[in-house]
């Protein structure tokens, strides 16, 4: 993709300072920028690279004050990070457009799909499934029976979608993720043997959901496990049966959410956190990394620790915890003095 500076400015709603006819054909980091590439300055830690970078065009903030003149072309915007994201999306859309059905793939005769479908090598789609417009299915994907996949959704290599699951529009599911596997449920019989609980539900991903690589989202025992509109999930996340995750919640890598828990809207869950089952997590809750949430959490709370408590209370408690060795020494010394006396 080749763009002139004035065209970049139009895409990101910016103003050009310098040569508006200079062209770029790639994107690069500002610290390792090359000629004919475009970079952005979104973090003050990298300010010095503005003057040494070899990038031909650099996106900077409207409020940035130059310490000295620069030779490269600048594009000023309100938010360089947001502008660069817009540009990345534009570049991505102009990549080679994939379409067509690979001859090694298998699509059942009664599957409904559009002419612009891309269906990669060794992928399978079983009976009564529906694939929307501009759906992209990469190689070695399995799609079960009665699955619905909305317009513009992408399934990267090795994704598995079990029977009856629903994927909304503009969803992205990264490599190796499994949607709709059985939940982890067993009951003891009179002899103490574990008897499997059959899961008859499904998983619903609403629109604009992105799921990272190697995640597992289990189907409901009855009803649906629901990932609502705009949710973003990182790699290696486990979502158990009958969980509901609210709109625009963001979940970092290696999080585990146990069965029948409801997560509210606009929450942020840090990496390696664990959430117990049958809880209600309110809206706009922040769960710090490696926390263990054992009870329900009210909206607009921030929690940390194992078991998770209020963030400020945790920090106060940690001060005492890290001083515990010296406190014990003082107590031992005091005890021995009293004993000797």
83: nearest Cα among 105, 57, 104: 57
Residue 21 and residue 41: Cα distance in Å, rounded?
21
Q: What's the Cα-to-Cα distance from 12 to each of 15, 25, 59, 70, rounded to whole Å?
A: 9, 16, 9, 21
User: How confident is the model over 163-183, as a mean pLDDT?
Assistant: 97
* Cβ–Cβ < 8 Å for 285, 267: yes
pLDDT at 330: 83
Reported pTM: 0.81
Residue tagged 């054909």 (tokens): 25
Q: How confident is the model at residue 91 (pLDDT cuts 50, 70, 90)?
A: confident
Write the Ramachandran bin of 200: left for phi over 0, alpha for psi from -120 to 50, otherwise beta: alpha
241 assigned to active site: yes
Q: Would you place residue 283 in the very low, low, confident or very high pLDDT band (cuts 50, 70, 90)? A: very high
Task: Identify the structural domains of the chain with CATH numbers, from first to last.
Answer: 3-93 (3.40.1390.10), 100-314 (2.160.10.10)
Computed over every residue of the chain, the mean pLDDT equals 93
Position 295 confidence tier, pLDDT thresholds 50, 70, 90: very high
Mean pLDDT of the region 43-65: 93
Interval 228-262: pLDDT, tens:
999 999 999 999 999 999 999 999 999 999 999 99
CA 120-121-127 angle, to 5 degrees, is 75
> Which of these is catalytic: 174, 199, 241, 278?
241
Q: What is the mean pLDDT of residues 79-95?
A: 84
The pLDDT, as a whole number, for residue 143 is 98
| Predicted confidence (pLDDT) per residue in 315-324, tens digit | 888 887 788 8
Percent of the chain with pLDDT over 90: 82
- Please tell me whether residue 70 adopts helix, strand or coil conformation: coil
Residues of the chain with pLDDT > 70: what percent? 97
Q: CA-CA distances (angstroms) from residue 207 to 36, 150, 226, 232? A: 37, 8, 11, 11
Confirm if 168 and 205 have CB atoms less than 8 A apart: yes
Q: Which residues make Cβ contacts (< 8 Å) with residue 250, sequence separation at least 6?
A: 231, 232, 233, 267, 268, 269
pLDDT(338) > 80: no
CA distances from 309 to 260, 285, 293, 303, 312 (A): 21, 12, 8, 5, 8
């Amino acid at each position: 993709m080749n763009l002139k500076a004035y065209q970049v400015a139009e895409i990101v709603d910016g103003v050009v300072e310098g040569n508006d006819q200079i062209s770029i054909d790639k994107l690069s980091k500002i610290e390792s920028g090359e000629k004919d590439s475009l970079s952005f300055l979104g973090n003050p830690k990298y300010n010095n690279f503005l003057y040494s970078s070899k990038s031909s065009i650099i996106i900077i903030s409207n409020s940035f004050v130059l310490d000295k003149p620069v030779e490269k072309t600048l594009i000023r915007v309100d938010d360089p990070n947001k502008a660069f994201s817009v540009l990345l999306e534009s570049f991505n859309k102009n990549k080679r457009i994939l379409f067509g059905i690979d001859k090694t793939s298998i699509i059942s005769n009664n599957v409904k799909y559009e002419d612009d479908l891309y269906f990669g090598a060794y992928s399978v789609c079983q009976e009564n499934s529906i694939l929307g417009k501009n759906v992209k299915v990469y190689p070695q994907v399995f799609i079960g029976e009665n699955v619905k996949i909305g317009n513009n959704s992408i399934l990267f290599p090795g994704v598995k979608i079990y029977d009856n699951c629903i994927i909304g529009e503009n969803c992205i599911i990264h490599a190796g993720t499994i949607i709709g596997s059985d939940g982890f449920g067993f009951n003891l019989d009179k002899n103490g043997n574990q008897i499997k609980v059959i899961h008859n539900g499904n998983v619903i991903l609403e629109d604009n959901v992105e799921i990272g690589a190697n995640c597992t989202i289990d189907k409901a025992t009855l009803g649906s496990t629901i990932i609502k509109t705009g949710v973003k999930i990182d790699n290696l996340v486990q979502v158990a049966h009958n969980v509901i995750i609210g709109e625009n919640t963001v979940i970092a890598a290696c999080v585990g959410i146990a069965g029948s828990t409801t997560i509210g809207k606009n929450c942020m869950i840090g990496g390696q956190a664990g959430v117990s089952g049958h809880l209600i997590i309110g809206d706009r809750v922040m769960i710090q990394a490696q926390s263990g949430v054992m009870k329900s959490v009210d909206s607009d709370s921030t929690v940390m620790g194992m078991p998770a408590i209020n963030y400020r209370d945790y920090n106060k408690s940690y001060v005492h915890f890290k001083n515990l060795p010296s406190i014990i020494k003082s107590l031992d010394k005091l005890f021995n003095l009293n004993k000797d006396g």
